[in-house]
Amino acid sequence: MDRVVPRLVVCVALLGAACGGSNAGGSGAGGGNAGAMAAAGRGGTTGSGGAPVGGVGGGGATGAGGATGVAGTGGGAGGAGGGAGAGGGATGMAGLSGAGGAAGVGGTTASCAPIAPRDPNAFVHPGGLHKRSDMDRMRYLVAAGVEPWAAAYQKLRADSLASPTYAVRGDPTWTQVSRDGGVHASEFESDTNAAYLQALMWIVTQDTRHAQKCVEIFNAWKNLTEVTGGGTAPLNAGLYAYKLVEAAEIIKSTYSGWAAADVQAFKAMLVYPGLSRTAVPASLSDTNGTFYWRIYNGDPGRHGNQDMIAWRAMIVMGVFLDDRIMFDRALRYFKGQTHRTDDLPYPSGPSPSGTQLDDNQYFTTYQVTRQSTLPDYGYNGVLGNYVWENGQCQEASRDQQHAFFGLGIAAGIADVAWNQGDGVWNTLDNRLLKGFEFMARYNVSYIASFPDQTAAWEPAGSEVIVRTDRTGRWRSKAINPHFESDLVGISRGDFPGKRPVFEQALAHFKTRMGRPAAETLWTQRGRDVALAMSGEEPRGFSLDHPGFGGLTFQRPPLCAGDPITGFAANGLPVFGVHVLPGIVRAVDYDHFPVSGEGRTYHDLSPGNAGAQYRADDVDIACGAEGQYVLSSVEPGEWLVYTVHVPTAGNYRIDVRYAAAVAGGAIRIGFGGSDVTGDVALPASGGAWRTTTVATSVALKAGVQALRVSIAGAASAFDLDSIVVGGG
């Protein structure tokens, strides 16, 4: 993840007075008098000597000196040209009599606006399934008529629950809802699905009728005090809460028409009768309590889908409530970790099997007696307990419908975590992908034939894991094409139009992570077969899935990361798609929660040599104008920026750069196509210069990847921005 470099700078005056940069533009050049970095120009590169005061002009300005420089004889190399400071301090060699290197960061601080370190308790908002950049992507692609987003949007628009004239069915006088056909169940289910779809419509259309419809729904249910139902309490509450809260997170973060008092009432409703980290509320009972206290322990006695749906609801509830303990409670459990010490423990265990109950060729069930000798035991909702090493789902021996639901829910947890900077999507050697591949192969091959799989795949022998689950009540023996113990009906292959889970998994593993096609083969086939048979992903069964992944999750090719325009006061990235014509700052390449190397950038030196702005391998220094700039560029390096072109046409592309020496070159591409070739950037004497690298470049409309590639000589220039203009 981007960890913003702490900007606290201790300016230590060592022998050579390495603290530079008291003046903007850097007179800093600590190094003392006898030859710190070069006076002007790229001190480090040119090496030596120079006037006592560095940085008048290029040296400090470009910030390059320090990175590669060798100090003179006089003093610490650290200062390395004032403005440049950071690089110099970090890597410059000390002068003969100076050890100033380490302190050389001084120069930078004086001129570049500080970036706060990331507040570990702050959340990205909107930050459930969809961030602001994701919303931009949906809206822009639909507006530009790009497929499949346009077709997927039409599918959403055609859903009656997405209509601006949808009649809200809840009532603010109601205090009770009971799932599975109980009190107000049908009204709640309709409104909950509608809330999420209306929120998506609001994202795409910006028509306030949709946002207002969401508010009406939230207000209709804000007085609940009792959630019960036909399933277990965690299943009832988790399934009922997660989509509603996803919608609430979108609306609260993007629409000003939800009154603060109503937001507060809705929040209080979610955790009624009140939040505690030390004790369960005394007034909690089967008839008094809503969502949080139904899900807070997961569902330790049941199949993984029921355990996970509780954590799925909780993780987005944590985001919506700005509650880090709640968010962590869900995520840590899902990862198989222990509870936070400032929170209630998770259910203990183990839960050994007792007397055998049912038995058939697919599974055996047992009575169990829960024990409490092992704290934080971790049941079927722990990722590794739900998706096994071979990709087999814990409940694939039960039926396929629940396995689809469970995997979809796991992906939902992973996506919310990703949006908040966590990479659980990829843990256990891409365990989730293995899960999707196993399930897809088993189900897709049942209804479609492929050259390499002409008959339905029947996993056998070592392809199947025989294992008792974490509850002790269920032992898997074979993959079950039926539905539980109804060994006549078939649940296998019944996914098109009903289980819209494939777009989300593909968006992550194929586009974000760039996994080889062989690894996403069956997930891709699942998506393609579902598309061929029932069109773009719809809402799907009941409340089980968010659906409409062709609109919401799919990403244009090469748009692995999420575009940002900077960092907020809490240190979090500010997400948003760059709109062209416009200026894209070179340092604002796309954000990626785990290493973006090979995905959002390619950088040839470990670490950020300039130690500024971001904590990736990309090298960033502070420019003389107080702006962060791309530095230490090397041929072969590249960066990606997700941009939107509202109107197809011919555009001019300029870059703003500073080059102390000649020999550098740059190349620009859009959507995977090179549009400029290598363009030489002449020496500018270290001064910032804007130059045109291409004219009349034909750009398609829509969201696409702008890629900047470095060519020519290494470290020849620093880059401020890419400027796309008319003509």
Task: Summarize as ranges the residues that interact with Ca ion (CB under 5 A).
Answer: 603, 605, 617, 619, 632
Q: Say if CB 419 and CB 131 are below 8 A apart.
A: yes
Closest contact distance (angstroms) between CB of 645 and Ca ion is 28
Residue number, nearest CB to Ca ion: 605
Contacts of 205 (CB under 8 A, 6+ apart): 139
- C-beta of 67 vs 407, nearer to Ca ion: 67
- C-beta of 524 vs 632, nearer to Ca ion: 632
Q: Is 130 left (phi over 0), alpha (psi -120 to 50) or beta?
A: beta
Closest contact distance (angstroms) between CB of 714 and Ca ion is 8
- C-beta of 67 vs 382, nearer to Ca ion: 67
Omega of the bond prior to 350 within 30 degrees of 0, cis?
Answer: yes
Strand pairing report for 578-579 and 638-645: parallel
Q: Residue 44, Cβ neighbours under 10 Å: how many? A: 32
- C-beta of 2 vs 619, nearer to Ca ion: 619
- C-beta of 379 vs 589, nearer to Ca ion: 589
Query: Looking at this protein, which amino acid is placed at residue 7?
Result: R
- C-beta of 63 vs 347, nearer to Ca ion: 63
φ/ψ of residue 686, rounded to 5: 85, -5
- C-beta of 409 vs 639, nearer to Ca ion: 639
Give the 3-state secondary structure percentages of the chain, helix then strand then coil, rounded to 5.
Answer: 35, 20, 50
Strand pairing report for 226-229 and 176-179: parallel
Closest contact distance (angstroms) between CB of 95 and Ca ion is 24
Q: Say if CB 717 and CB 631 are below 8 A apart.
A: no
Query: Looking at this protein, which amino acid is placed at residue 238?
Result: G
Closest contact distance (angstroms) between CB of 604 and Ca ion is 6
Closest contact distance (angstroms) between CB of 620 and Ca ion is 9
Which of 690, 600, 680 shows the shortest CA–CA distance to 635?
680
- Interatomic CA distance for residues 29 and 545, integer angstroms: 59
- C-beta of 42 vs 527, nearer to Ca ion: 42
- C-beta of 530 vs 620, nearer to Ca ion: 620
Closest contact distance (angstroms) between CB of 664 and Ca ion is 13
DSSP state of 226: E
Q: What is the 3-state secondary structure (H, E, C) of 675-701?
A: CCCCEEECCCCCCEEEEEEEEEEEECC
Closest contact distance (angstroms) between CB of 103 and Ca ion is 21
Closest contact distance (angstroms) between CB of 67 and Ca ion is 9
Closest contact distance (angstroms) between CB of 248 and Ca ion is 41
Q: How far apart, in Å, are the Cα atoms of 242 and each of 344, 378, 379, 699?
A: 22, 21, 20, 40
Three-state SS at 601: strand
Transcribe 401-463 into DSSP letters: HHHHHHHHHHHHHHHHHHHTT--GGGHHHHHHHHHHHHHHHHHHHHH--BTTB-S-----GGG
Closest contact distance (angstroms) between CB of 630 and Ca ion is 8
- C-beta of 196 vs 717, nearer to Ca ion: 717
- Interatomic CA distance for residues 628 and 113, integer angstroms: 9
- C-beta of 307 vs 619, nearer to Ca ion: 619
Closest contact distance (angstroms) between CB of 122 and Ca ion is 27
